[in-house]
Chain A
């Protein structure tokens, strides 16, 4: 698979067959979920009301979609023009990520048709989930607007393209504010459960942990995603994107290395403030150290080595590693270390249909990304709009 996949002449490429099967299975599960109820497809119970649809689809989905605001901030706020080529793929990923988060929520909540309630009908302002809901809703709209230039260019709507170009800076600032708020609030959701979440993961700073980790998660995702795109959608990438992607990788990897070290420091501060050191000597402590050292400290060092040696390939692999670390962190907080005091027979493990539904939703994202990236000017500059942003 080192070579780019040739544009499909037949419908039955391996990619299409596999995604087809997954989408079909997903459709069956969807019918099951919406006719028989959540209980029919999940292992959720009264002690474990949140499963992987929240732990993975929501928490990881949002964290990994952070590339959008991080890249926008780097390019438009910090004025790093060379990062511009990374903006559109990042925004597309973010937009799709958030869209899928909202899609997954339709499966997870009991009455999805009421999802607009908190925004339009009855605002529970004392809830951090309200903050998350509002921000995700607004940010999804912002991401949509931020992505429209690519669509307008594709459709060749010059006037609309021009107007949206005028407000892009406002959109970027708005997007960063919203991201800061809801990335951190996702962590803050767990502030209310000091008695249920293991003390090593629970901290008064958990909102900050989520925010900081979302930044380097976003950076890693941008680097990692380019590696994937480079491999499978090679033809769509123009020369400028090719060259600048290396600059992006080096820049982001260097910043991420610093951030991850800073992240470790504030984690240590959190443990010190609650005086949770003694937990480190337990099995939970080892698992925590495994996460912190194996998926934050070591990748940060490898990033530093990769940057020094200009080893783009190493940076890309490490980004995958970091992405996995973020998934591990979010799953630890929402599932593994949550309800840690319950006896093992009352703990949660996802059911097969639950996992398949998640796979289904991720697949939709991949298909959508491919569809858009092969049609709209995402990975290359539109010839008619050469220098516009």
Chain B
């Protein structure tokens, strides 16, 4: 920048230029202003009417910091109480509209900060520090983790001595005391115009308490905070064992990891079935007394086992505790958004469908070695009979009582369980599994590779272990062989890899890899997927020695 003209223009135009340079100098500072810090108690204040265009970004504050600072004054300092319960809104029980709320926040937050400041106590931002609350930068980031009740926590609440037992209302009278379910679970009774506890009707809060407030129910977030924390607070005042009352207690990663977990949890008692016979035509059949020849074989569903394998009821019962067929009918209903039962059970992208959930199990380390290499199967490739196994004949003569389908399911499940076995020795004699195999069909730079074939087979079987899902689908232990010896029919003498995989791979030969690619692909990907660190994929000599005739540094590339 040397040739700024002297004389006339310099006087007049130096100023904007100077300002420009100054502006340029500020660029690095923008970067520095972006501090970091993440908090599980970072709360963004959202006023009730968000349709008002806002000039400033929403204010944020650290809730636990305030709880701590006002510990001696308690929640009442900020939150009004209604029916002995704190309302977790700031200084108000009901929303008051944008302007009123804005004023209230400003007056009270800054007012309190100012008072403390005047008393020379530590205080938050004052009237002139707008941007400290209404900051746009990412100095504060929320690290709050979502939190929900898992089976263990649910059980701990069931057996907590701090929670009083609830009387059960039956026939309008209190007659029996049960566990503590009624402390939380409730139903709305339109005749009594209030919520009551109904035994056997418990369901997840989320069915009614949705993501947003609606006319008939508060949002799930509001419920979880108001009801949980108020209960915890009340127990605390009674000096009883209680749960967390501050943000971090549920939402920080650290505290979440400290929550006590109970391993052995009895089944939830809600009169749910142990098993169910899933078939759309069942009702029709029972009515007509004549099973239609058109219907798919029924599925004997082991409800009890699935309960143990899932964390929540709503993992499958995503919208209601009713049976699936209630909404997912033959044609679908408005409530099911016209998703038919067939789709609901088989849609592989849905985690609430049988197929969708089962497919994720294949990504388990113990399974992925083989399954990650198998191409995505279209639905029609699946063996329907694996699940649709209840023979129509077993329904004949059509049972008269309503418990009959359940009995049939039970029978089917028991039989199925008994048949489950993946013990290798039961199906393949050890002598039929070659102990070591040497691949030497295309020695080039390296010698042939010898690998412990039997050890690998045994290891696969071992890894599957007692997994009943795996056992169910690998009904024949020879299925395991197909993990590597794929595409040919299961046999103790599978064809050699080279029968299909050629030596010179070209795109023209189709999707099948060449022999070298097939071997390396299968071995290395299986090791990678199953988390077997050794040998490293790039440690060539761990599997095959370098040929002595090969010059140390040269590779055998065809000349």
Contacts and interface: CB of A to CB of B under 8 A. Distances in A.
Does a CB–CB distance below 8 Å link A and B in the complex? yes
Interface of A: 283, 286-287, 289-290, 293-294, 298-299, 302, 305-306, 311, 313-314, 317-318, 320-321, 323-324
A283 B20 CA distance: 11
Given A317-B7, A321-B4, A294 B17 contact: yes
Contacts of A283: 24, 27
Given A283-B27, A302-B13, A290 B7 contact: no
Interface in B1-28: 2-9, 13, 16-17, 20, 23-24, 27
A286 B22 CA distance: 11
A305 B24 contact: no
Given A298-B13, A314-B9, A317-B9, A287 B3 contact: no
Given A283-B27, A286-B27, A314 B8 contact: yes
A290 B20 contact: yes
A290 B24 CA distance: 9
B3 A302 contact: no
Interface of B: 2-9, 13, 16-17, 20, 23-24, 27
A317 B9 CA distance: 9
A286 B23 CA distance: 8
Given A298-B13, A302-B13, A286 B20 contact: yes
B3 A324 contact: yes
20 contacts: A283-B24, A286-B20, A286-B24, A287-B24, A289-B20, A290-B20, A290-B24, A293-B16, A293-B20, A298-B16, A298-B17, A305-B9, A317-B7, A317-B9, A318-B5, A320-B3, A320-B5, A321-B3, A323-B3, A324-B2
A293 B27 CA distance: 19
Nearest to A286: B24
Contacts of B24: 283, 286-287, 290
Q: Helix, strand, loop or mixed for chain A's interface? A: helix
B4 A302 contact: no
B278 to A, nearest CB: 56
B430 to A, nearest CB: 59
Contacts, number: 49
B8 A311 contact: yes
Q: Which 5 A-B pairs have the closest CB atoms?
A: A317-B5, A302-B9, A324-B3, A314-B8, A283-B27
A306 B5 CA distance: 13
Contacts of A317: 5-9
Contacts of B6: 317
A353 to B, nearest CB: 22
A317 B24 CA distance: 26
B5 A321 contact: yes
A298 B9 contact: yes
Nearest to A283: B27
Nearest to B10: A317
Contacts of B3: 320-321, 323-324
Contacts of B13: 298, 302
Q: Helix, strand, loop or mixed for chain B's interface? A: helix
Nearest to A318: B5
B215 to A, nearest CB: 43
Contacts of B23: 286
- Which residue, of B2, B3, B27, has the highest number of chain A Cβ atoms within 10 A? B3
A302 B16 contact: no
Given A298-B13, A317-B9, 11 more contacts: A294-B16, A294-B20, A298-B9, A302-B9, A302-B13, A305-B8, A317-B6, A317-B8, A318-B5, A318-B9, A321-B3
Nearest to A327: B3
Nearest to A316: B5
A120 B59 CA distance: 72
Contacts of B2: 324
- Which residue, of B4, B6, B9, has the highest number of chain A Cβ atoms within 10 A? B9
- Which residue, of A299, A305, A311, A317, has the highest number of chain B Cβ atoms within 10 A? A317
A294 B19 CA distance: 11
B6 to A, nearest CB: 7
Nearest to B30: A283
A184 B4 CA distance: 28
Nearest to B24: A286
B16 A306 contact: no
Contacts of A324: 2-3
Given A321-B3, A324-B3, A302 B8 contact: yes
Nearest to B9: A302
Nearest to B12: A302
A283 B29 CA distance: 12
Contacts of A289: 20
Contacts of A299: 9
A287 B23 CA distance: 10
A228 B5 CA distance: 14
A314 B8 CA distance: 6
B235 to A, nearest CB: 54
A347 to B, nearest CB: 17
A55 B270 CA distance: 80
B16 A313 contact: no
A291 to B, nearest CB: 10
A313 B6 CA distance: 10
A265 B110 CA distance: 50
A290 B27 CA distance: 14
- Which residue, of A294, A311, A318, has the highest number of chain B Cβ atoms within 10 A? A294
Nearest to B27: A283
B110 to A, nearest CB: 32
A320 B7 CA distance: 13
A313 B24 CA distance: 31
A56 to B, nearest CB: 15
B30 to A, nearest CB: 9
Nearest to A306: B8
A375 to B, nearest CB: 30
A321 B4 CA distance: 6
Contacts of B8: 302, 305-306, 311, 314, 317
A314 B4 contact: no
B11 to A, nearest CB: 11
Contacts of A321: 3-5, 9
A92 B23 CA distance: 42
Nearest to A302: B9
Contacts of A290: 20, 24
A299 to B, nearest CB: 8
A377 B4 CA distance: 33
A323 B4 CA distance: 11
Nearest to B31: A283
A313 B27 contact: no
Given A286-B23, A286-B24, A313 B7 contact: yes
Contacts of B7: 313-314, 317
A283 B25 CA distance: 10
A302 B6 CA distance: 12
A283 to B, nearest CB: 5
B22 to A, nearest CB: 11
A289 to B, nearest CB: 7
Contacts of A293: 16, 20
Contacts of B5: 302, 314, 317-318, 320-321
A155 to B, nearest CB: 38
Contacts of B16: 293-294, 298
B498 to A, nearest CB: 43
A294 B7 CA distance: 17
A311 B2 CA distance: 22
A63 to B, nearest CB: 16
A290 B16 CA distance: 10
Contacts of B17: 294, 298
Nearest to A313: B7
B16 to A, nearest CB: 7
A289 B21 CA distance: 11
A44 B17 CA distance: 32
A95 to B, nearest CB: 25
A289 B24 CA distance: 11
Contacts of A298: 9, 13, 16-17
B13 to A, nearest CB: 5
A255 B6 CA distance: 23
